[in-house]
Each structure stands twice: as structure tokens, then as C-alpha cells.
Structure 1
Amino acid sequence: MPDTADLLDSPDSPGFLVIGECVADIVRLPGAADQVHPGGSPANVAYGLSRLGRSSTLLTQLGPDDEGRLIADHLTSAGVVLRTDGSTTPTPTASVALDEAGRAAYTFDITWTLSPVAPERSPDHVHTGSIATVMEPGAATVLAAVESLRASATVSYDPNVRAALMGDHDGAVRRVERCVALSDVVKASDEDLDWLYPGQSPESVAARWLGSGGPALVLVTLGADGARAFTPGGRATVDAPATEVVDTVGAGDAFMSGTLHALAAHELLGATGRERLRAIDPATVTDVLRHAAASAALTVARAGANPPDEPELRAALAHA
């Protein structure tokens, strides 16, 4: 079983394509000036993967404005390769209000009109989710891209529910379940599941998704209560590492990038890894959860969507 660091510089290390939105998060704190942070769930995942030493390309839209330049500089500083469709629509923004516990509530100003863009090379793994998969007309482009790439790449998906943007509830559930069925790995928060399937337990939702013919691994984050993983062969649980929470912005995205980083280290991604992923053993599932939870814990300990780099994650795991 390879160590997480062993494959960082390997020529066989998978290439990641992330498809989805960039958003400028305008964080508002009582009695303080607004703070603008680069964000957007898919963009955060691409950034987190690059911070962990993975080859990451983001297919997205960025406006020719200050917010777009801020986000582009932020992403490329970590090594993310940016691909856009040439749209000149303004960069989306989200007003982020934090409560006393650092929990974030969002108000969005976003347009998503992504046009088809051919990748420069065929990726080994595709990640998508959030607004990009529910907001038309761009959502249709995202789903068409995933459908065309999944024969040669594994796929991960995070619904990252934003209730104000999901539209009709039944229609939103159908869109989410279509994405789930196209995916090998699905991650959702307990809050996502509460909105999508009110009154149903994470166990019942995970069983529903695992039975859809898509995912081999379903991950559910539970905030301070840790996270659970579900596979056809069983389940695993990990506690949330002890940390002082500054805010929760980007925590779920750091969990996702930590997950993909660990799965890549275990050679479970890409078309050649898909069957191994479907036979993932309990010890490996637990190791993946540990990496994901540690990545999220490091992120919530500092302001904004600021995921760890590989040495930080390695050190956190060594001291866990």
C-alpha cells in the first residue's frame, strides 16, 4: 500500500480536471471591514489538490474584473491550470455572514453559462459539483462533459447544496441523483442530506446512492462529529480532529481535496483504478477518512478557504 507522499512526483500520478464555478466570497463580520476571499466549491477543490502536489486543471468562468483577477492569481499561485470558455460575464460573488461559532451563511450573485471547452489532455479523474451542476444553462455543459469523460476517468461529486439556488426541490433531487449515478465517489454534508431527503438518515441515503449503480464510496461529513464513509462492503467512521475553529469556509472542499489526494496515493483513481476502488478495503477507507478530516481541520483553524499543503497535512497526520 503506497504512502500518500510516494506518488506526488510520479509520472503515473493522476491528472485532475475540476469543472465548476469560481466565486469571490465577501466575508462580513460584525464591526469589521468586508474581507474578499477567492472561493467557489470546485475552485477550492482544484486549489486544495494543487496545494497537495497534485496536477490540477480547473474549467470555469472568470469575469474581466477585480474579483476575477484576484481569483486567477490565487489559483495559479498554487499551480492550478485555468481553462475558461472566454465568457465576459462578471465573476460571481457570495456574501458570507459568519455566526458566533464561525458557521457560514451565503447570499449569491451568480450567473453560470459555461460553454463546451475541450480539455488539453484526457484527465484521469474529474471532479464537479455545487452550483455548476444545478444552474442552467451551464449545468448542461458540465453534465455532458462528465458523461463524455467518465469512460476513461473516475468521477467525484459534491452536491454542496445552496438551497436558494437549487430551484424546485423534486427537480433538484433528480439532478443530484443523476450526478450521483455518474460518479464513483460522492461526498455530502449532513446538512446537504437534510435538505435533499428530510427525515432520512445518512445510512439510508448512502444505501440509496450506492444502489444507483454509480458510486463505490459515499462520504458524509458531520461537522464537529467527524465523518462517515459507506461502501457496498461496510462503513467506517472518523472523529473530527480537535481544533479551534476560526470559520468553516471551505471546510467541505478541503475534505474533498484531502479525499482525492489519499485515493490517488492508494492508486484508486483513473480508469485503471476504478475496479480497485470498488473493492476498497476497510483499512484504506479509514486512511482516506483520516486524510480528509485532517485537511478539513487545518482549514477551519484559519480564515477563509485556505487548505493545507502536503507537508502541513503530513505533519497533522503524524501528530493525530
Structure 2
Amino acid sequence: MAAEFPLMLSAGEALTDMIACGHGQWRSVVGGSTWNVARSMAKLGLATGFAGAVSQDLFGQELVRASADAGLDLRLLQQYDRPPLLAIVGESTPPSYFFIGSDSADLHFDPEQLPAGWSSSLQWAHFGGISLARQPLAGKLLGLARQLKAQGVRISYDPNFRNNMHADYDPILHEMGQLADLIKVSDDDLRGLFRSQDADWAFTQLRAINPAATVLYTRGEQGASLHMGELAWQADALKVAVADTIGAGDASIAGLLYSLSMHADREPRSHLRFALAAGAAACLAAGAQAPSLQQVEALFSVME
């Protein structure tokens, strides 16, 4: 008997970060915003699938292995005989990077090739990252988001601004914003997406796209807020020994999705605190981390 299909989905890019180590040496690390969210949800114990495509070479094989290790549903992961998508990270603090991926495997993801019945159990589907700024993949993912929304699946969206998102990204921001039940955004995202240094003004513009959406607004060391309609809840950032902040945003949205799914009766402030605890847990070790439920709950208990 085939295993049941996942309850949670993250769709988009899985890539390899090539991180400069000095003197012409590089370290490769599996990553990608949407893949990190999928891995984080799975690590928290949610039945999760990642829908995307990777190469068949050593970079793609490593992503497949890491997906299996994370407990992701591999039936939704596709492989193609195309080049890998690479993020070249010259500096980590502050991040300095560019992407290499002309005609790379991620662009060939085909939702039509997903197995029959794959979305029958889905509760949430997450979209975002650079996958929505890379055609023709962006168009495929938008179509998938529309299809799942019509099916009754709740949509989560983290634009996760990167330097390849220009004015031509605006229509995607607006459509995904309108489709989303949950939007995660940082102050840096807002400045980039709306091309303004006034993050508060940009946040007002974002809320106007879909006033009914729940919004998780993170501001680094200044903490975060959760917005539902006219109501908002604030929480301070957790004080932890930070190795780095890579992947903290991905872990925080995964934590919020976990809390909303598994503890629907929680007060909104508790959902917010759990999201912050997940983000803080991801900062305890270098590189993008998928913290365990035990790590997150330990930090969450300190905040309650």
C-alpha cells in the first residue's frame, strides 16, 4: 500500500550554495529558501513534500540525499539532465551573492508530472524565494498556487527578496499576495520589494494587497509582529548565542506553519512566539539549519 501523500508542501527552488572560504576555496551547502522551509517543516515532524526539480549530477544527487535524510516525500521531487542551480556566496556578513542557473534543472519542473492524487491531503502549500523570479518556473508555480487555492489548500508566501527581483516581479508579488492566506516578510524584504527605505510605508503597501491575509513581519533583533486583520501582536527577539542568521527566516515560517497546523487553539501571540523560537533555534549553528522540535520547544517555553 502506497504511503499517504503529504499534508504540507513547499514548492520552488532547491539549490547549492557555493560559499567562499578564502584563498580560492569554496564550500558547497544544500539550500534554497523553499527547500529550506520544506526541510524545516519535516524536521518538526510534519508530513511534508518539496515540489521542485534538481539536476542529475553530484549537486542534484546531494539534494536528493539531503531531502531523504530530512524525511521529505521524494515522490514530488523531480530530476532532469540539466545544469544545477548555484548560489555563489562571496560574503556571508552581510550576504553578497549571485546565481548561476541558465537553463538549469529547476526551470524544468513540471507540475503535470506529479503523481496522481498528490494534493489530496494537502492543508498548506508554501511558495516564494527566487523560484518566483525565474521564468518559466515562476509561471508554472503561479498556476500551481491558483490550482491549490481553488482546491481549498491554504497558501503561504515568503517573497524572500533577492537582487534578481526587479520591477517585473511586481505582478507576481501582487498575485501571490492576493492568493496568500499567510505572508512572511522582513523589513529588508520590504525595502527591496517596494524599492523604498521606508519599511513602514512598504508594509502598508503590502497589507493593502490583501488585508485579509495573516502577516508575519520580522525585524531581526527588534523582534517580530503577527497581523490578523486590524489586530496585531508583538514579541521581542530571543537572546541566543548567534552563530549566523542564515535560514532563520525559513525556519520561522516553518515554525509558524507547524504551530498553526498542530496547535490551532493557541492564541496568536503564542503562534508568533513559536515562530520566533524556530528562527532563533536556526541561529544556534552556522549555515541554514532545520531545528528539531525539541530545540524549538525549549526556546518557546522560555518565552511563554
Instruction: Report TM bin, short chain.
Output: 0.7 to 0.9
The 3 A distance-change label for structure 1 pair 29 and 227 is: farther
Shift in Å at residue 291 of structure 1?
Answer: 1.1
Give secondary structure in 1 for the equivalent of 2:19. strand
Match status 1:43 vs 2:29: no
Deviations 1:26-63 (A, max 9, x none): 22234694222110000000000000000100111110
User: Does the aligned pair in 1 maintain the 2:87–2:99 contact within 8 Å?
Assistant: yes
The one of the two structures with greater contact order (alpha-carbon pairs below 8 A, sep at least 6) is 1
Q: Which residue of 2 aligns with 1:60?
A: 52
User: Does the aligned pair in 2 maintain the 1:51–1:308 contact within 8 Å?
Assistant: yes
User: Does the aligned pair in 2 maintain the 1:249–1:305 contact within 8 Å?
Assistant: yes
Give secondary structure in 1 for the equivalent of 2:259. helix
Q: Which runs of 5+ in 1 are unaligned?
A: 1-13, 269-282
Shift in Å at residue 201 of structure 1?
Answer: 4.6
Give secondary structure in 2 for the equivalent of 1:195. helix
The 3 A distance-change label for structure 1 pair 244 and 290 is: same
Shift in Å at residue 161 of structure 1?
Answer: 1.2
Distance 2:94 2:43 in 1: 24
Q: Which residue of 2 aligns with 1:91?
A: 84
User: Does the aligned pair in 2 maintain the 1:22–1:91 contact within 8 Å?
Assistant: no
Deviations 1:281-316 (A, max 9, x none): xx7221111111111111122111112111111112
The 3 A distance-change label for structure 1 pair 29 and 236 is: farther
The 3 A distance-change label for structure 1 pair 319 and 49 is: same
Q: Which residue of 2 aligns with 1:8?
A: none
User: Does the aligned pair in 1 maintain the 2:211–2:229 contact within 8 Å?
Assistant: no
CA RMSD of aligned residues (A): 2.3
Distance 1:298 1:32 in 2: 31
Give secondary structure in 2 for the equivalent of 1:58. strand
Residues 56-65 or 193-202, more deviating: 193-202
Deviations 1:72-119 (A, max 9, x none): 1112112111223442222211122335xx442222112323222335
Q: 1:104-183 counterparts in 2 under 5 A?
A: 104-110=95-101, 111=104, 112-117=107-112, 118=114, 120-122=118-120, 123-151=122-150, 152-163=152-163, 165-166=164-165, 169-183=166-180
Match status 1:286 vs 2:296: no
User: Stretches of 4+ moved more than 6 A in 1?
Assistant: none
User: Does the aligned pair in 2 maintain the 1:19–1:59 contact within 8 Å?
Assistant: yes
Shift in Å at residue 211 of structure 1?
Answer: 3.6
Distance 1:198 1:186 in 2: 19
The 3 A distance-change label for structure 1 pair 97 and 301 is: farther
Deviations 1:257-295 (A, max 9, x none): 111111112338xxxxxxxxxxxxxx7221111111111
Distance 1:265 1:241 in 2: 22
> Which amino acid is 2:87 matched to?
A
Q: Which residue of 1 aligns with 2:19?
A: 27
> Which amino acid is 1:196 matched to?
L
Q: Which runs of 5+ in 2 are unaligned?
A: 1-5
Residues 22-31 or 299-308, more deviating: 22-31
User: Does the aligned pair in 2 maintain the 1:63–1:90 contact within 8 Å?
Assistant: yes
User: TM-score under structure 1 normalisation?
Assistant: 0.83
> Which amino acid is 1:229 matched to?
L
Q: 1:192 aligns with which of 189, 192, 199?
A: 189
Distance 2:284 2:79 in 1: 36
Q: 1:277-316 counterparts in 2 under 5 A?
A: 284-316=267-299
Q: Which residue of 1 aligns with 2:3?
A: none
Shift in Å at residue 203 of structure 1?
Answer: 4.5
Distance 1:213 1:290 in 2: 24
